[in-house]
Amino acid sequence: MTIRHDHARLDFHRLRFLAEGDEVVVGRVDTGSYAILPADGAALLRELVAGRSPAAAARWYARTFGEPVDIDEFLDTVSELGFLYEGSGPAPEQRPVRWQRAGRALFSAPAWICYAALFAAAIGALCADPRLLPTRHHVIFTHYLLVVEVVLFFGQLPLTLLHEAFHVLAGRRLGLPTRLTIGRRFYMVVFETAIDGLVVVPKRQRYLPMLAGMLADLLGIAVLTVVAYATRSPGGEPILIGRVCLALAFTSVARFAWQFYFFLRTDIYHLVANLLGCVDLHTVSGQLLRNRFHRLLGRPDRLVDESRWHPRDRRVARFYAPLHALGYTFATVMFVVVMIPLSWRFISGAVHTLCSPTAPLASVADAAVLLTLNLGQVAAALVIAIRDRRRGPAADRKEIS
């Protein structure tokens, strides 16, 4: 872009500024385009947004900071980020974010009182009947394994969507255009919430959107526990609906524990990265490990330019990278040693059943459902992996799963 009217005012889209130490995060919430500027660069941008012409802003910068600035180069960068409005007429106002009121209601004081009451009821139910404590024995709630497979698979879908809905509404509560997508963590397909706008939100306000999904998981477990307690038979044994609730509660506990696999960029990872003030710790840690590996192989041509890393990411990655590698190593070993043999056992057995002319109809249906669920997830993971490779490296997106 070439500035031909140095004395004309420029129009900008609505920008948010967040000072963090000696740097300022600037960005557009509506498009998810952000940049980290030094304090003097952010001050220059503020002057332009406030209405100074490029020429006047350049003179102001020289007087204030004692050195000249290449205003054309600066505006070229600002334009590439999509901050400049280059249409005709004034820049359009950003539309209010949908569901913002619902987000505020979901995390209002009355809502927190209801959540506390629900947790108290669940704890009371567990104290009254410790047999309701979720264990792996609750998973097989019927002798019909086909029913168990279908109920757990489709029963966890709304609970997983509830997890993401809490993330979405916690972000919408702050006026951020959060959105739900489908992504991949290693070899697992996951729902994830993109909350790019958190980078221009004060740090103390980021924790609720990051942890809202885990709150939803705990609320779901509490509801399932209370229902299981309330529907017991006169003898104290859970009836079918109660057994289904306990099975879903246990699988929800397992899904909650999965959030502590921080190396997969789960909710806990984003919490820790925010506490440490990192920008893109996961990417930098992976690139640091790859650089070390390529140096050992004598392949300097494959090294990533480390000057592009944020200084805080560089410092933390020195300690985080070994945990990053250990986590992926553990996940890979579990996949090879446990998941592949177990999946092969089930899939080969299902194929054998489908090919057997004497197999009962119930067994054939069971095998067909098992193959559909398992192979469908593998196919989805491959499709998402191909999509991500075509999209190229992620650009500092906050995706919370």
Main-chain phi, psi angles of 85, to 5 degrees:
-95, 115
The mean-pLDDT minimum among 19-33, 36-50, 229-243 falls in 19-33
pLDDT at site 396: 43
Average pLDDT, integer, range 63-86: 90
If you search the block for the tokens 């942890």, which residue do you land on?
211
Pair 215, 107: CB distance under 8 Å: no
Please report the pLDDT score of residue 355 as a whole number: 85
> What residues contact 387, with CB distance under 8 A and at least 6 apart?
none
Lowest mean pLDDT among 13-27, 97-111, 154-168: 13-27
Please report the beta strands in 132-229, taking only residues with DSSP state E, as ranges in sequence order: 179-185, 188-194
- 177: which residues sit within 8 A by CB, 6+ positions away? 29, 30, 97, 171, 197
175 exposure class (CB count in 10 Å sphere: 0-12, 13-18, 19+): middle
- What is residue 2's predicted lDDT score, i.e. its pLDDT? 46
User: What is the spatial distance between Cα 316 and Cα 320, in angstroms, rounded to a whole number?
Assistant: 6
pLDDT of 153 higher than 60: yes
Please tell me which residue, 124 or 260, carries the higher pLDDT value.
Answer: 124
Flag whether pLDDT at 349 surpasses 60.
Answer: yes
Instruction: Note the pLDDT tens digit of each residue in 222-280.
Output: 999 999 999 999 888 889 999 999 999 999 998 998 898 888 888 999 999 989 988 88
pLDDT above 90 (res 207): yes
Angular region, 37: left φ>0, alpha ψ -120 to 50, beta rest: beta
Confidence of residue 200 (pLDDT cuts 50, 70, 90): confident
Identify whether the C-beta of residue 306 lies closer than 8 Å to the C-beta of residue 245. Answer: no
Which residue would you say has higher pLDDT here, 165 or 362? Answer: 165
pLDDT score, position 120: 98
Residue 335's pLDDT is 74
- Mean pLDDT to the nearest integer, 358-370: 78
Q: DSSP string covering 260-286, please?
A: T-GGG--HHHHHHHHHTT-SSHHHHHH
- Please give the pLDDT value at position 186: 60
Lowest mean pLDDT among 150-154, 276-280, 287-291, 397-401: 397-401
Q: How confident is the model at residue 45 (pLDDT cuts 50, 70, 90)?
A: very high
pTM equals: 0.79
| pLDDT level of residue 395 (50, 70, 90 thresholds) | very low
Give residue 358's pLDDT.
Answer: 81
> 112-126, 296-310, 377-391: which has the highest mean pLDDT?
112-126
Lowest pLDDT segment from 191-195, 209-213, 310-314:
191-195
Domain spans in the chain, listed from the N-terminal domain onward? 1-95, 100-259+356-400
pLDDT classification of 370: cutoffs 50, 70, 90: confident
pLDDT over 90 percentage in the chain: 42
What sign for the dihedral angle of Cα 383, 191, 338, 365? Answer: negative
pLDDT at position 60 is: 94
Residue 188 has pLDDT above 70, yes or no: no
Model confidence at 89, pLDDT cuts 50, 70, 90, reads low
184 forms beta bridges with: 189
Q: Which residue has the higher pLDDT, 363 or 16?
A: 16
pLDDT, position 366:
75
Residue 394 host element (H or E): none
